[in-house]
Structure 1
């Protein structure tokens, strides 16, 4: 744990209330969920694990990988609204989770990065505070209209992180922006003194027998580790890390850890030739070891390439909405990507038969493809997992509706709505909308006035919450007309 000296009365949980063991369980589930391509839920799990161990760099980096994948997959549709509702922290822990989520969805925003750094600093998370603070300082320097208050906040952040050299740098820029602030100038001098003491400790260590060489080795090793752990790497850093991982792999080409590290470095640099090399690397590793995880990594790379192609095509279509040929190309690429996802998920379900989350993800893709019967079978198995049950019921009800099993759809939507905590959430709206549609269909099929009236009540509730929700205005008119017709025929 990287927390220090916090008391209960400042809104932070006492250190004994945290549990790295519980965090580990969240992180393991998060990684498994990420591997099943359910990035949104993986983000939730990483953040809730960080509530149990806020200073975990592993959890922090895992969160960033998943939130980046989620943002890439969803594009402009990426939203943290539902994730935020599922966060389990309180007080400053919750603020930290929320700030990380906002930053993860907007990683190039200087303001969001600074807020995340401040939230980490408020909890005393030195390592994470410095990582975020360095990034925020970089954004501040790029601002064409530098602001004193931003640099003062960075000074605060770096002081709390014990990164006094960086505190001096931020403070000096703030002083240059307002030379008349004597208190600020005095504070920068204090930071300079602290930085000098910090450097002195290093030099003292270097003066011991063998200390200089040891210190240099430590600095070089630390620089390498910091470069690898950094969330934001320069191209030069990526090149150096990749060269090191490649050399390590070439020395021990059958070592699974070396294979994984080399593959990650290739994908982190992410040039087209790197992706091809990673693809061939994982293919060879799977053939040599028979370990399915390498076949899974191979599939992830193929999906990554296809998703990027689809994003590029969609961007072109946004700029040329009347281009029918381009629109057709987008549709074909969407269909191909869906086929690829289904193929990969089938393999994963086959190799991890007890993983109900994988069955759920495969069921969703099959529902999208129109394979309703198979999707229902998978949803029935997946609903045994309490983590996914409400979401699974929602999709299962939709599948029943697609095959005109209206009674079953109504029953399933009702089960999904039972015990829902936030009736105003997006999920609750979707479930009520689905139940409304099912009841409308039931009323039309069976000429049932009671079902039509219940559908009308649901339509009214949804419209009161969100008047612009989907086609709710048109739906309500249809249901009103249906009620009139049914009453007239009585």
Structure 2
């Protein structure tokens, strides 16, 4: 870091984190190097892990908000600073920092709304168009692209804007044009960026899904494209996981894709890494439990679901799934009373959840 060899510093830090994913020194190096290289997404991943270990550290919270600002996520940055300001009402520096962030967020939202208001006025003021014309969603997206492309002419190093334009082309199903923009961004940017790589992967997935939708269910063409899609996206995700080894969100995505194709062993490795991320911890534990169930390791599956439920409060869809999976483990272990108890807890709040009605009725009919 001191020698400004930021990529080298990140490489050394990644080796440390591969052996110890929660090493605070390694994550601090990643944060400092990512800030110098303008990699906000990488910064955010490490800052979230540092904050998990030090939840009351005000400086970490401010750093996280700053990284979100760099990424353009003003709403979340404002929300984080608001919470910090609320629990530290006597800190004038922090209160001012929150006001600054809130002001920037307001300006950003105002510019965004003004852009589209101007667009609406321009269309409404077009004398050649009928006064009562209602624009379609496609027309609105095309107008939005025109404005963004005009802006890009004056901001030719604004690669984030190039990515945003590509995303709109994906919405329009104009995939050739979208990939032209992504190719331009990658060629000109010349710096690895996980958010761009993920956007490109999402565009490929959208194109596959669009093509798949052209064929009827069960047709050989559709099944062939689905297999091609899954293979391509898994390969792409593996490459991104290797390229960004310290980013738990990519590990989580890799675990999901491996789980879907039945690669339980490799999926376990990915979810074990991903659970270090506060954002993905509960879902990672849920998937780990399911992976262990697939392998018949019911005691280990039980442990994962119980750990997740200890950290889960509100009885939402995620908790229902955790409780359901836990009950299924008890079924496999030959413990019908415990299984019925948990199925009933879901039945009491959501009778339509999966096959919980049949599970509960079967339990009563068997006299459990």
Please give the range of the TM-score, normalised by the shorter of the 2 chains.
0.5 to 0.7
Structure 2 segments unaligned to the other structure (5+ residues) = 1-57, 87-101, 124-138
* 2:317 is the alignment partner of 1:410: no
Paired residues of 1:363 and 1:378 also in contact (CA < 8 A):
yes
Matches within 5 A, 1:133-172: none
Deviation at 1:261, TM superposition (A): 4.4
Deviation at 1:272, TM superposition (A): 3.6
Q: Which SS does the other structure have where 2:227 is aligned?
A: helix
Deviation at 1:343, TM superposition (A): 1.8
Larger of the two Rg values belongs to structure: 1
Deviation at 1:456, TM superposition (A): 0.6
Provide the C-alpha distance between the structure 2 equivalents of 1:360 and 1:281, rounded to a whole number of angstroms. Answer: 29
Query: Which residue in 1 is equivalent to 2:193?
Result: 293
> Which of the numbers 354, 360, 364 marks the counterpart of 1:476?
360
Provide the C-alpha distance between the structure 2 equivalents of 1:49 and 1:332, rounded to a whole number of angstroms. Answer: 43
Flag the 1:21–1:264 CA change in 2: closer, same or farther, 3 A. same
Provide the C-alpha distance between the structure 2 equivalents of 1:358 and 1:31, rounded to a whole number of angstroms. Answer: 20
Deviation at 1:435, TM superposition (A): 0.3
Query: Which residue in 2 is equivalent to 1:455?
Result: 339
CA RMSD across the alignment:
4.4
> Which of the numbers 128, 135, 142 marks the counterpart of 2:109?
128
Query: Which residue in 2 is equivalent to 1:179?
Result: none
Query: Which residue in 2 is equivalent to 1:6?
Result: none
Flag the 1:394–1:89 CA change in 2: closer, same or farther, 3 A. farther
Matches within 5 A, 1:419-438: 419-422=311-314, 424-438=315-329
Deviation at 1:282, TM superposition (A): 4.4
Provide the C-alpha distance between the structure 1 equivalents of 2:158 and 2:298, rounded to a whole number of angstroms. Answer: 54
TM-score, normalization by structure 1: 0.47
Matches within 5 A, 1:17-56: 22=61, 25-26=64-65, 28=67, 47-52=75-80
* Greater relative CO (CA pairs within 8 A, separation 6+): 2
Query: Which residue in 1 is equivalent to 2:249?
Result: 357
In the TM superposition, what whole-angstrom CA distance separates every residue of 1:59-111 from its partner, at most 9, and x where no partner exists? xxxxxxxxxxxxxxxxxxxxxxxxxxxx9999xxxxxxxxxxxxxxxxxxxxx
TM-score, normalization by structure 2: 0.60
Q: Which SS does the other structure have where 2:348 is aligned?
A: helix
Provide the C-alpha distance between the structure 2 equivalents of 1:239 and 1:133, rounded to a whole number of angstroms. Answer: 15
In the TM superposition, what whole-angstrom CA distance separates every residue of 1:147-174 from its partner, at most 9, and x where no partner exists? xxxxxxxxxxxxxxxxxxxxxxxxxxxx
Query: Which residue in 1 is equivalent to 2:205?
Result: 306
Flag the 1:276–1:349 CA change in 2: closer, same or farther, 3 A. closer
Query: Which residue in 1 is equivalent to 2:184?
Result: 281
> Which of the numbers 142, 148, 157 marks the counterpart of 1:235?
142
Provide the C-alpha distance between the structure 2 equivalents of 1:482 and 1:436, rounded to a whole number of angstroms. Answer: 16
Number of aligned positions between the proteins? 279
Provide the C-alpha distance between the structure 1 equivalents of 2:111 and 2:68, rounded to a whole number of angstroms. Answer: 27
Paired residues of 1:20 and 1:52 also in contact (CA < 8 A):
no
Paired residues of 1:394 and 1:416 also in contact (CA < 8 A):
yes
